[in-house]
Structure formats: structure tokens, C-alpha cells
A = this chain, B = another copy of it.
Amino acid sequence: MPKPLPVVDPVPTAVACCSPLEHAPLSADQAQQLAARLKALADPSRLRLVSLLLGSEGQEACTCDVTEELGLAQPTVSHHFKTLAAAGLVTGERRGTWTYYRVVPQAMADIARVLDVSCD
């Protein structure tokens, strides 16, 4: 196994009121954790994937639904879903032949809150 896709834990639930970026400087570990989540989002294909999920019927979609729209091969889409899931940004549920993915809004909001440094 070349690398077990670290599976980021829940999300560092912003400590106090504002962004933890402002106060105590990020430790190397904290920075590593946050960077892992941001890196999962920092790809055009994955951003479009998230966007497609949010804009789909019932805010969910299966791989075959988005493959064509993204112009990517099926394994590539599957790989991106795996990356997003490992970061906790989406969840996948198998229903029959298809696997339906949906965004985890809380995970997105948590990241957004950490980045919002305009509350001072």
C-alpha cells in the first residue's frame, strides 16, 4: 500500500470565536491538518465535483452522472471522490449499482470559518 490516504479527523472545530489563525501561531501539526483539507479542495476538478453535487437533484450524484460533465475518465472521478471523502468533505453511500456522493456542509463551513480572519 503506497499511502493509506491519512483520513483526516473530524475537523479542528475552531477553538474560540474567531479564526485560530490569528492567535497562537499554528503549530506544525495544526498546519499539516488544515493544509490536508485545503489541498483536497485545491483542485479544479474536485471543486467542480463539489459544485456539481451541490447543484444536483437532492444534492447528490453518482460517479456516472458527473463523469461526462467533467470530461474525465471514470477512474479519475473515482479517485477524486476518494480524496474528497478522505478529507471528510463528501460522503459516499452505495445504493444498488450506484454510489451516491454528497457534500458534508459542516466540513466546508468549518474550513470557511478558519479562513475568515476579518473579525477583529
A residues sitting closer than 8 Å to B (CB atoms) are 21-26, 28, 31-32, 34-35, 38-39, 41-45, 47-48, 50-52, 54-55, 69, 103, 105-106, 108-109, 111-118
Contacts and interface: CB of A to CB of B under 8 A. Distances in A.
A60 to B, nearest CB: 14
Contact of A112 (B24, B44, B103, B113): B113
B42 A38 contact: yes
So how many copies of this chain end up in the complex? 2
Given A25-B48, A31-B48, A109 B118 contact: yes
A42 to B, nearest CB: 4
The secondary structure that dominates the A interface is helix
A54 to B, nearest CB: 5
Most buried by B among A22, A45, A114: A22
B116 A55 contact: no
Contacts of A38: 38, 41-42, 47
B69 A25 contact: yes
